[in-house]
A and B are shown apart, each in its own frame.
Chain A
């Protein structure tokens, strides 16, 4: 699975959009970008995933650059409850047990 690079921490004002970047310059054509988050030692929570098109769901939007070497997770209106560690994970869609390999992620702190 491709390696990812994320900033260790970010701050965001409540109500503003939180834009979390992820670099994955060695991504292969069959690898997807997944985003999970972990709120204060709770179990990780799936947010969104994509291959090359931008994706949106009720939680967030995922913007993947055309060359697929980086992506941005957007929380459109961050709230205090979005304070968490956000993990960008790149992995193939098929094969093995589909384990997730977590890095250190980005600690997002949403403040008033």
Chain B
């Protein structure tokens, strides 16, 4: 069964450093998402991406964040200058097309900012 994959599974970084979280969505999916979950808190939407552009973003997704689909398979989330409060699980999700289809989530990347 096709699945969304994410790398790395755990990333440790120093405050102020840049990190890139990588996702490989399901191959025929057209809509891509990033969510995050701070330990013990809700899953929060960050950004959605379609047709090579951002279709929606949350207040969390400020200028420190960016997304890119550099080739036909990868979908990345970059945090330019990490802060302690960026420590969280980051989930990538993808969706085929049409408005009713479910989103398929990856296993997540645990980001720890020291």
Contact = CB atoms under 8 A, between A and B. Distances in A.
B100 A32 contact: yes
B104 A102 contact: no
Given A43-B105, A97-B49, A99-B58, 20 more contacts: A41-B37, A42-B107, A43-B4, A43-B93, A43-B107, A44-B93, A49-B100, A87-B43, A94-B99, A96-B55, A96-B56, A97-B47, A97-B48, A97-B55, A98-B31, A98-B99, A98-B103, A99-B33, A100-B103, A104-B42
Chain B binding surface SS class = strand
Interface residues of B, number: 29
A44 B44 CA distance: 12
Contacts, number: 62
A46 B100 contact: no
B99 A46 contact: no
Interface string B53-92: 0011010000000000000000000000000000001010
Nearest to B58: A99
Nearest to A85: B43
Interface of B: 4, 31, 33, 35, 37, 42-45, 47-50, 55-56, 58, 89, 91, 93, 95, 99-100, 102-108
Contact of A101 (B45, B49, B102): B45
A26 interface: no
Nearest to A93: B99
Contact of B105 (A45, A94, A97): A45
